[in-house]
Amino acid sequence: MDDRIEEVVKRSSEPLKDDWALEQEVAQELRTHLEDKCAELEGEGNSPEESVEKAIGEFGDPDEIGRELLGANFRRIKLRGKLKVVLRICGLPLLLAAVWAAVDFSVLAGAARYCSVSTVNHEFSVKCDWAARFFGRFAGFRKPAGEPLLWNGGDGLNARKADEMRLELVNRHPDDPVCLANYVAEVMVRDKRPDSVKAVKLAIGREPDNALYHHLLSALIIEEAFEADRTVMEECEIKDRAKLDAAKAEYLLGLKCPYYRLYIPERGQRARSQYAGNAFHARMQQKVEALMLPIPALPRQRSVARAAIYYPELLIKDGRPEEAEALLDQWYVYPAQLLGSGDLLISMLIVDTILELNQKKLPELYARVGKPEKGTRIAAKIAEARASMAAWKAQRKEADDRAQEEAERYGGIFSFYLVGLGISLPAEYLRSDRIMTYCILDSLVLLCFTVLVLCVVGFQALCWGIGRACGEKGHFLWLTKREYGKLLLYGMLLPAGLYWLWLHADLLSGRGVGYQANLAMFCIQSFVLVVGLPVWFRFYLGHILLRRYRALVPSGEGTRRICLPFLTYVTTAIPLWIVFLLVVGGVLRFAANRELQYNVGRDRSFFAGLFSPAEDHVVQALRTDLAIGLDKAAELTRELK
Amino acid sequence: MAVNSDLMRGVAEPVILKLLAERTMYGYEIIRLENERTNGAFEWKEGTLYPCLHRLEEQGLIESSWQLAGAKPRKYYSITRKGIAAMEEKVREAKEFIGALHLLLGAAN
């Protein structure tokens, strides 16, 4: 067999090589044909050499025949062979995607951050967990150790399940009062009455000496005793007198308890351990826990405080002034209990509110039981006790006003929420996902960019794979140094630089307002980034390649319109696209990191101002002043009794 | 006279079907017979016959079987019933086309 014939047969049947049997069958058919042809030509008097030449010449282009044979026989190729063909076609795009992901997984790191944080905050969404664990390995993030479920509030969508899991923890740790307090507080946050009553009763059973739970239960019963609006019970109709008496009994039980504990510092401390190693988040978390957690109990504490005044009034109406006076004489126990519950600003504020209520109501009520002077003197003492609060309140108001201004100016992406809603401190914005939101936004831009560029590169790689599978051979077109330089300068650096300048020149709107308030701008910027830059690069590369081609082909050809062979273009472009991806991706990542640091820095200063360390000292001093003032007022009450 | 192989491409299928309708043949035999009858007027590249044959086989218009001719294994093609029906249609189409072409180019002369 002549080698030249075998070469033609091989080239013609090669595209079918993924199905060996089919390839052999087709090769045999072609081989027989060529041998027959040669034999005939030799019979006509040609030399063997001439016969082979002629037979091959009349056979046609083996590469083209091979492509047509692949098309004609594709359905006959066995599945394994088909998979091989598909793999050969998609191999390069897949490889590029894999290399991209392996080399430059900042986007994945962003996803990992998001997933990690989501897992912490939405602790029950299992679907996120695998991603967090998988990407977390790359990104070096880890989930909090221990039992973090206890110290998070759930995401609000699966509250019942969250409650069930917290209850399970309470049952697993029956001697842990912090666990119990957390469960009760979280149930109370959601304000679902049957659940709240159940939780508080469970807590009373476990910790009967804690006045908190008795007062919470009392407040829950009070709310049932009145018509609709529970906040201004003085104006409400009593719906159920028996319930009101039950609430009073519970209140008195609470007054006899030796201590009143919300376990807020302990809960804050445990929450803080969740962010071990991250001082900023840990500090923020502690503040948030300290400031925010008791707030759900605040309406209840107010209810109890109002009821404490309301009960004597009812007793007076019932014609039982002695009992009313005995109850009035206990007015100081409840604020004293609250004051002893911890060195927290919120406790001071609640105590101050209760004292204010007593200051107003006691003179009137004592007057109605026939002891007007007693009431007046006690009210005066209460006013003295509250004096220390007044100066501090003025300072705080001033600080609040300043904070609002600063939020507008420096609040970063959340200032829109902070200022717009007039809320100074929503807890969830202080958790770590606040910072992560920057990552997500940046990652989003990078992700869009990556997807788009990968699509462009992937498409070209796919074309390359198809071309190769069909036996086409693309030519790599080397450019001159000057052309590579121009491509780098005008195709990449110049547009990227212009984009960067545009971002920082900020012609259309203020950056300080944040992305949310400036969504249109964000969209335009993203569009330019993900569409404009790659499209420009593609255009400029095409331009350079055509010029190069014109330089290479004979001058006579230059007059007509040149159309580059597609595979040649693709073969030349793919390596450049890869370089483009890596270089621009790296630059963007660097820029995104800078942006992140910039915003986080601003937020840090903003929030640091809001939670000044001075506040801690103020709380300590306030508590002492209030405690002394309250003691004096209580002492006077006892003397007058 | 020699007919360009690009022109041949369009009428290859009816030609092959027509020849196979006469008897079972292998690839080279088809070429040879066609050359005999046209005095080698169709200058088509012989290799392009095989994709065409395989396509027709894929469509179920012809079928193939390997047979030993002496020591050589050859792949013989024969027309199917579906192929006969298709042949008539394709031949009619080709004739109409040639007629139209003749009218057009004859008129130009």
More confident residue, A148 or A301: A301
pLDDT (mean) for A271-292: 56
Which chain B residue is nearest to residue A32, measuring alpha carbons?
B74
**Nearest residue, CB atoms, B75 vs list A29, A37, A59:** A29
How much is the pLDDT for A411? 44
Which chain A residue is nearest to residue B29, measuring alpha carbons?
A33
- Please check whether residue B9 touches A, CB under 8 A: no
pLDDT (mean) for A518-527: 67
Neighbours of A448 (CB within 10 A): 16
Which chain A residue is nearest to residue B67, measuring alpha carbons?
A29
What are the C-alpha distances in Å from A246 to residues A75, A194, A215, A250, A326? 84, 17, 12, 6, 18
How much is the pLDDT for A128? 42
> 3-class secondary structure for A192-244?
CHHHHHHHHHHHHHHCCCEHHHHHHHHHHHHHHHECCCCCCHHHCCECCHHHH
More confident residue, A301 or A291: A301
More confident residue, A446 or A293: A446
More confident residue, A449 or A86: A86
Which chain B residue is nearest to residue A39, measuring alpha carbons?
B28
The H or E element containing residue A149 is none
Cβ of A68 within 8 Å of Cβ of B51? The answer is: yes
How much is the pLDDT for A473? 61
Q: Cα(A329)–Cα(A324) distance, rounded to whole angstroms?
A: 9
Which of the four pLDDT bands, split at 50, 70 and 90, describes residue A140? Answer: very low
**Nearest residue, CB atoms, A60 vs list B47, B54, B72:** B47
Chain B residue numbers with beta carbons less than 8 Å from the beta carbon of A12 are 47
Chain A residue numbers with beta carbons less than 8 Å from the beta carbon of B47 are 12, 30, 59-62, 65
Cβ of A60 within 8 Å of Cβ of B55? The answer is: no
Nearest CA distance, A460 vs chain B (angstrom): 28
pLDDT (mean) for A172-192: 82
Contacts within 8 Å (CB) and 24+ apart, A103-107? A103/A582, A104/A581, A104/A582, A104/A585, A104/A586, A104/A589, A105/A138, A105/A139, A106/A443, A106/A446, A106/A589, A107/A443, A107/A446, A107/A447, A107/A450
Chain B residue numbers with beta carbons less than 8 Å from the beta carbon of A32 are 26-28, 72-75
pLDDT (mean) for A425-432: 38
* Pairing verdict, β B62-69 and B72-79: antiparallel
How much is the pLDDT for A305? 83
Interface of A with B (CB under 8 A): 12, 25-26, 28-30, 32-33, 35-37, 40, 58-62, 64-65, 68-69, 71-73, 75-76
- Confirm if A128 and A156 have CB atoms less than 8 A apart: no
Residue A230 phi/psi, 5-degree rounding, is -90, -10
Here the tokens at position A306 are 């109002």
Nearest CA distance, B76 vs chain A (angstrom): 10
Straight-line distance from the first to the last Cα atom of chain A, in angstroms, rounded to the nearest whole number? 127
Cβ of A72 within 8 Å of Cβ of B75? The answer is: no
Chain B residue numbers with beta carbons less than 8 Å from the beta carbon of A40 are 32
The candidate with the shortest Cα–Cα distance to A184, out of A205, A172, A208, A167, is: A167
Which chain B residue is nearest to residue A76, measuring alpha carbons?
B58
Chain B residue numbers with beta carbons less than 8 Å from the beta carbon of A68 are 48, 51
How much is the pLDDT for B78? 93
Residues 35-64 (B) with a CB less than 8 A from some CB of A: 45-48, 50-52, 54-55, 58
pLDDT digits over B74-96, tens only? 899 999 999 999 988 888 988 89
Poorest-pLDDT segment among A82-96, A181-195, A498-512: A498-512
Here the tokens at position A538 are 């593609």
Nearest CA distance, A65 vs chain B (angstrom): 6
DSSP chain B: --B-HHHHHHHHHHHHHHHHHHS-EEHHHHHHHHHHHHTT-B---GGGHHHHHHHHHHTTSEEEEEEEETTEEEEEEEE-HHHHHHHHHHHHHHHHHHHHHHHHHHHH-
Cβ of A59 within 8 Å of Cβ of B45? The answer is: yes
Neighbours of A325 (CB within 10 A): 20
Cβ of B47 within 8 Å of Cβ of A37? The answer is: no
Which of the four pLDDT bands, split at 50, 70 and 90, describes residue B97? Answer: confident
pLDDT digits over A317-360, tens only? 888 888 889 888 989 898 888 888 766 677 787 888 889 989 99
Residue A470 phi/psi, 5-degree rounding, is -90, 5
Nearest CA distance, A59 vs chain B (angstrom): 5
Cβ of B47 within 8 Å of Cβ of A29? The answer is: no
What letter would DSSP give residue A76? G
> Does A295 score more than 60 pLDDT?
no
Cβ of B74 within 8 Å of Cβ of A32? The answer is: yes
The candidate with the shortest Cα–Cα distance to B83, out of B30, B25, B18, B36, is: B18
What sign results for the dihedral spanned by CA atoms A91, A92, A96, A99? positive
Cβ of B47 within 8 Å of Cβ of A32? The answer is: no
How much is the pLDDT for A207? 92
Which of the four pLDDT bands, split at 50, 70 and 90, describes residue A158? Answer: low
Contacts within 8 Å (CB) and 24+ apart, A542-550? A542/A569, A544/A479, A544/A483, A544/A486, A544/A487, A544/A491, A545/A477, A545/A479, A545/A569, A545/A572, A545/A573, A547/A483, A548/A477, A548/A479, A548/A480, A548/A483, A549/A477
How much of chain A exceeds pLDDT 70, in percent? Answer: 61
More confident residue, A67 or A82: A67
- Please check whether residue B94 touches A, CB under 8 A: no
pLDDT (mean) for A458-471: 75
More confident residue, B93 or A391: B93
| CA atoms within 13 A of residue A173's CA, in its CB half-sphere | 14
Q: Cα(B73)–Cα(A28) distance, rounded to whole angstroms?
A: 8
Q: Cα(A40)–Cα(B40) distance, rounded to whole angstroms?
A: 15
Largest interatomic CA distance in chain A:
145
> Does A143 score more than 50 pLDDT?
no
What letter would DSSP give residue A487? I
Non-local (6+) Cβ contacts of A537 within 8 A are A491, A492, A495, A580
How much is the pLDDT for A567? 73
Neighbours of A64 (CB within 10 A): 17
ipTM at complex level? 0.90
Cβ of B46 within 8 Å of Cβ of A30? The answer is: no
More confident residue, A363 or A430: A363
**Nearest residue, CB atoms, A69 vs list B50, B74, B75:** B50
pLDDT (mean) for A566-583: 72
pLDDT digits over B15-65, tens only? 899 999 999 999 888 888 888 888 877 767 788 889 999 999 988 999 998
Name the 3-class secondary structure at A122.
coil
Mean pLDDT of chain A: 72
Chain A residue numbers with beta carbons less than 8 Å from the beta carbon of B45 are 58-61, 65
> 3-class secondary structure for A362-429?
HHHHHHHCCCHHHHHHHHHHHHHHHHHHHHHHHHHHHHHHHHHHHHHHHCHHHHHHHHHCCCCCCHHH
Chain A residue numbers with beta carbons less than 8 Å from the beta carbon of B28 are 32-33, 36-37
Nearest CA distance, A473 vs chain B (angstrom): 20
pLDDT digits over A197-243, tens only? 999 999 999 999 999 899 889 888 888 887 655 555 566 677 788 88
Q: Cα(A387)–Cα(B83) distance, rounded to whole angstroms?
A: 108
* Pairing verdict, β B25-26 and B72-79: antiparallel
